[in-house]
Structure 1
Amino acid sequence: MGTNDDKKEVFTGVDHPALAADNVDRLADWYCDVLGYQRHFRHDKPVWILRAADGTLLEIMPKDDTVRPERTTWTPGWSHLAIRVGSIDKAITYLDGKAVKWGGDVMPAIGGGRVRNLVDPEGNLLQILERNF
């Protein structure tokens, strides 16, 4: 498995990130109602697998008793989930109507485009991201 073509046959992309939630059903509802995810599968544990419009998945699972650390965009480890949008201006107008909590203003995105931070109801850092390519 030495060439990039060989690796592309094996590693095809990201299947899903996972969020550990205080209330799995309530957080799944928010991602569906606010961000347009669809419920794909629910396990009795309870765990939800949600599907985005582009087919990518998001797992929402119950948290354990570990205390949530304070995070910034630059805290070590997984930082945030960036959700691609066709128009950041339209996305902001829509999300303002859903009373989301913003984490700053629109800024240039690393790698091109524009980005704005927000948090979900449990404090997980998200971004909406408009790319030009």
Structure 2
Amino acid sequence: MLKSFEHVGMTVSNMDRTVDFYCGLLGLRLHLRKKQPDGSDLVFLDAGGGMLEIVAPSGGAARAADVPDGTAGMRHLTFLFDSVDETFAKLEAAGVEVKERPRLAFNSEVLHKIAFLRDPDGIIIELAERKE
């Protein structure tokens, strides 16, 4: 029997920069950070309803590539906030790369407002809020 969503794994080029982004700007909480035997850095970040498992290989990593339409793969990570507008303004002021400014969600049965930005490695991050 399914209990819950646990985590999603991702690779990044710089762990310090990534932790600063996800914890400092988005509000995730550092659950675990350790060095792996192969020299890579590993963290688990608590997102409230699941975690991100992040690995930074010792040799770095190339910037993420978007998944083209019609290709299977992970398209973006979505985080739920009280206010997309307030969160977007904070991130934009911090110099985060903007992909799509806040707008009403097309799937209004689930979400009210969304926006899209990129993390330091180019991974697409969706900010979302639900109707009250």
TM-score of the superposed pair, with normalisation by structure 1: 0.78
- What number of residue pairs does the alignment pair up? 123
Q: What do you get for the CA RMSD once the two structures are aligned?
A: 2.4
Which one-letter code corresponds to 1:79 in the other structure?
R
Moved more, 104-113 or 37-46: 104-113
Q: Match of 1:49? A: 44
Alpha-carbon displacement from aligned partner over 1:62-109 (angstroms, at most 9, x marks no partner)? 358886663157452111101101111211222222121110222332
Q: Is the 8 A contact 2:7 2:52 kept in 1?
A: yes
Moved more, 73-82 or 117-126: 73-82
Structure having greater relative contact order (Cα 8 Å, sep ≥ 6): 2
Aligned-residue identity in percent: 27
Q: Match of 1:4? A: none
Cα separation, 1, equivalents of 2:125 and 2:35 = 27
Q: Match of 1:71? A: 66
Q: Would you tell me which structure has more helix in proportion to its own residues? A: 1
Bigger Rg, which one = 1
Cα separation, 2, equivalents of 1:37 and 1:114 = 20
Cα separation, 1, equivalents of 2:87 and 2:61 = 33
TM-score of the superposed pair, with normalisation by structure 2: 0.78
The change in CA–CA distance for 1:90 and 1:66 in structure 2 (over 3 A counts) is: closer
| Aligned pair partner of 1:27 in 18, 22, 33 | 18
Q: Would you tell me which structure has more strand in proportion to its own residues? A: 2
The change in CA–CA distance for 1:40 and 1:65 in structure 2 (over 3 A counts) is: closer
